[in-house]
Structure 1
Amino acid sequence: MPTCAERPVILTGDRTTGPLHLGHYVGSLKNRVALQSTHRQFLLLADAQALTDNAHDPAKVSRNILEIATDYLAVGIEPDLTTICLQSHLPALADLTLLYMNFVTVARLERNPTIKDEIQARGFGRDIPAGFLCYPVAQAADITAFKATIVPVGEDQAPLIEQTNEIVRRINRQAGRDVLPEARALIPRVGRLPGIDGKAKMSKSQGNTIPLSAAPDQIRDAVRRMFTDPNHVRASDPGRIEGNVVFTYLDAFDDDPAAVANLKARYIRGGLGDSVVKERLDEVLQAILAPIRARRNLLARDPGHVLDVIRRGTAQARGVTEATLRDVRDALGLFTLHEPGGIVGDTHRMQYAQQ
């Protein structure tokens, strides 16, 4: 088995804007748990990026740091295998972001499909926060600071990885050598999970989620309210499974695809009520979330432990990211003060001697 240093590096994370939900679980958390034993994985609590559209409510961003870290541990993230770190306490990320802004144009940022869609969804118009527009640059800094080669993202986030690699190529070309590696997007088998209303992806901002911490009654109520086929009025009516949120969730979470296929056939043929399908989904989700909720409740009793996990991980990540910043600065030939004594390195010292 390869040593930790030899393993491929993964960088992933979440904006600290609210507790994690089933969309996160099926889209990335399951992958993170599975990959942590074979990869060197860094999990970023992205509080700085959360401020790009939440600067009016920084308290919301701060209070969700522990919530999300607790969710990580509850689903099976192991601090001994995965480094959990706090973005705003890694100053090298901000330094790299500032550097990279000189290697990308505003026009290119505005063309990024992910950013265009998010700007439209939030109704910014031309009143786009500069931090939000520069989100792809900040993400490039995050990814490259850890020299990650794998980034688990949803399909809608793939353009951000493409833009990261454009910046990497420009830095490497400027340096005349490969300072930073390119990364590839790891897109999960299940695409974006729709919200329980069927109108959009499951999203904290849309209020159409099932949190990982949901109580049994909350899960049951959410499943009961799920969008199905509006034309399937009676159990005897033939039903459609396309766009039917309940079947989408069964495809994503039920470990018995043969049973789901049988339910689909009966539903399409007619003779199967929505209540039967929803009961099946409720059983599946209750079984998945019960152990997560139990672990989460235990962790919530000891927030000091969760905070210590974040502190230790952030200290480890700080060393990694600062080393990358030094590599990039040196490769680009940027002026550097070396301690102790506040004197510059050999190249600049020679320049001073000649002046």
Structure 2
Amino acid sequence: MSSDSPEQKNVSRPRVLSGMRPTGKLHLGNYMGALANWVKLQDDYECYFFIADWHALTTDYADTSNVLSNIKEVALDYLAAGLDPKKSVLFVQSLVPQHAELHLLLSMITSVGWLERIPSYKEQQENLADKDLSTYGFLGYPLLQSADILLYQPKFVPVGQDQASHVELTREVARRFNHFYPRRSHSFASELAEAGSEESLHVLPEPQVLLTPAPKLPGTDGRKMSKSYGNTIQLTDPEPVIRQKLKTMVTDPARVRRTDPGDPDKCPVGDLHKVFSTPEKLAEVYDGCRSAGIGCIQCKGWAADALVQILTPIQERRARYTDEDVEAIFEEGSARAQVRAEQTMVEVRSAMRLPSASLRSGGSR
């Protein structure tokens, strides 16, 4: 391991872990809901951020032709947003096989009822009615998330409020595992107890939710920005595309004519200004809209100005990386992640009284 690895630099910092599914290029909603917060966390936490390619198969298993290209796009977006391989471990889920092993072992002790009660289970079945989601993989994807988390024994999982239930499932699974399989190394447990960390006596410590701010970010049709709605502004959209998308964006329905006053609090474009515009520009928006002093076209132009200012440095960073750079960064990060994951699996196998590494490799004990 190199002397400047994130694990060594951040050894005394709380560990966090999070990831995203590679379903295509990321958009502003992904950036504001997760990436921007991850970038900030890098200076205060030991960070593991991954691309959850196996999770993409839970709903798109019938066509995997775009998985590799999507991994590349998301990897580029991670780096473009400001995730730094010198500060964080950046990796691809499927390159760390311990994720699958821990998922299998946890599936032996996890109640089906726990999985069925996850709010997104029925919601996604309804929203994706055109797909057959009556699969074991789709039912078990929250448990795969739990394995992803517990494999790195993080202190915190940075999520929005809508993902908190998944972390709670992870805590329940960890609690059940630790009840069945206490740590077998008494000397190691004693050292941890002396250090004052009672929870560290467990093989799989229960992670805490680290709620991250997720501002309201509408898509061009006024609904939540989402790839499935086709209403996104991508991190890679050039300025002319951004301006064209905003020109067609829905506004306050009360402004039928140019002379009608409006209310930015009832307008999706107003919501964009609240997130991206300066306080001074936001004040102009409120004053101009409510007095009908400005029209919607001008207001949308101001919003586009703000988005371009945010996205330009992201796109400039993206252009600095070659395909070879990205591949090398994520291969190295995946190797680092595998080392840390195996540390957990050694403890898990020992606690469950499964074969040791020497037996697994065919050697003698």
> Same-fold call, TM > 0.5?
yes
Corresponding residue for 1:143? Answer: 149
**1:327-347 CA-partner distances (Å, limit 9, x unpaired):** 112123334352575345xxx
The amino acid that maps onto 1:318 is Q
Q: Aligned partners of 1:115 and 1:244: how far apart in 2?
A: 31
Tell me how far 1:118 sits from its aligned partner: 1.9
Tell me how far 1:96 sits from its aligned partner: 0.6
Q: Report if the CA contact (8 A) 1:154-1:192 is conserved.
A: no
Indicate which of 73, 81, 102 corresponds to 1:75: 81
Corresponding residue for 1:237? Answer: 260
Q: Aligned partners of 1:270 and 1:186: how far apart in 2?
A: 42
**1:226-264 CA-partner distances (Å, limit 9, x unpaired):** 12112211233232334421111111222x234314422
> What secondary structure is seen at the aligned counterpart in 2 of 1:12?
strand
Change (3 A) 1:127 1:188: closer
Q: Aligned partners of 2:270 and 2:108: how far apart in 1?
A: 47
Q: Which moved more, 1:258-267 or 1:311-320?
A: 258-267
Q: Report if the CA contact (8 A) 1:172-1:180 is conserved.
A: yes
TM-score, normalised relative to structure 1: 0.89
Q: Report if the CA contact (8 A) 1:11-1:43 is conserved.
A: yes
The correspondence of residues 250-261 of structure 1 with structure 2, limited to 5 A, is 250-254=273-277, 256-261=278-283
Q: Report if the CA contact (8 A) 2:93-2:99 is conserved.
A: yes
Change (3 A) 1:197 1:142: same
The correspondence of residues 267-278 of structure 1 with structure 2, limited to 5 A, is 267-278=289-300
Unaligned residue ranges in structure 1 (runs of 5+): 345-355
Q: Which moved more, 1:160-169 or 1:190-199?
A: 190-199
Matched, 1:159 2:179: no
The amino acid that maps onto 1:210 is I
Indicate which of 331, 334, 346 corresponds to 2:354: 334
Corresponding residue for 2:248? Answer: 225
Matched, 1:281 2:303: yes
Indicate which of 211, 216, 220 corresponds to 1:187: 211
Change (3 A) 1:243 1:13: farther
Q: Aligned partners of 2:149 and 2:99: how far apart in 1?
A: 9
Q: Report if the CA contact (8 A) 1:198-1:243 is conserved.
A: no
Unaligned residue ranges in structure 2 (runs of 5+): 1-7, 183-200
Q: Aligned partners of 1:127 and 1:46: how far apart in 2?
A: 18
> What secondary structure is seen at the aligned counterpart in 2 of 1:59?
coil
Q: Aligned partners of 1:168 and 1:259: how far apart in 2?
A: 48
Tell me how far 1:3 sits from its aligned partner: 4.6
Q: Aligned partners of 1:264 and 1:117: how far apart in 2?
A: 36
Corresponding residue for 1:53? Answer: 59
Q: Report if the CA contact (8 A) 1:114-1:159 is conserved.
A: no
Work out the number of aligned pairs and report it.
339
Q: Report if the CA contact (8 A) 1:16-1:50 is conserved.
A: yes
Q: Aligned partners of 1:206 and 1:317: how far apart in 2?
A: 34
Q: Aligned partners of 1:46 and 1:332: how far apart in 2?
A: 27
Corresponding residue for 2:319? Answer: 297
> What secondary structure is seen at the aligned counterpart in 1 of 2:220?
coil
The amino acid that maps onto 1:121 is N
Query: Kindly, what percent of the aligned residue pairs are identical?
Result: 37
Q: Aligned partners of 1:315 and 1:127: how far apart in 2?
A: 32
Indicate which of 44, 51, 69 corresponds to 2:50: 44
Q: Aligned partners of 1:206 and 1:153: how far apart in 2?
A: 22
The amino acid that maps onto 1:38 is D
The amino acid that maps onto 1:197 is D
TM-score, normalised relative to structure 2: 0.87
Tell me how far 1:98 sits from its aligned partner: 0.7
> What secondary structure is seen at the aligned counterpart in 2 of 1:152?
strand
Tell me how far 1:136 sits from its aligned partner: 0.7
**1:198-234 CA-partner distances (Å, limit 9, x unpaired):** 13x2122322111111111111011112121122112
Corresponding residue for 1:107? Answer: 113
Q: Report if the CA contact (8 A) 1:84-1:310 is conserved.
A: yes
Matched, 1:35 2:57: no
> What secondary structure is seen at the aligned counterpart in 2 of 1:147?
coil
The amino acid that maps onto 1:316 is R
The correspondence of residues 299-318 of structure 1 with structure 2, limited to 5 A, is 299=321, 302-318=322-338
> What secondary structure is seen at the aligned counterpart in 1 of 2:150?
helix
Q: Which moved more, 1:326-335 or 1:163-172?
A: 326-335
Corresponding residue for 2:228? Answer: 205
> What secondary structure is seen at the aligned counterpart in 2 of 1:263?
helix
Q: Report if the CA contact (8 A) 1:54-1:61 is conserved.
A: no
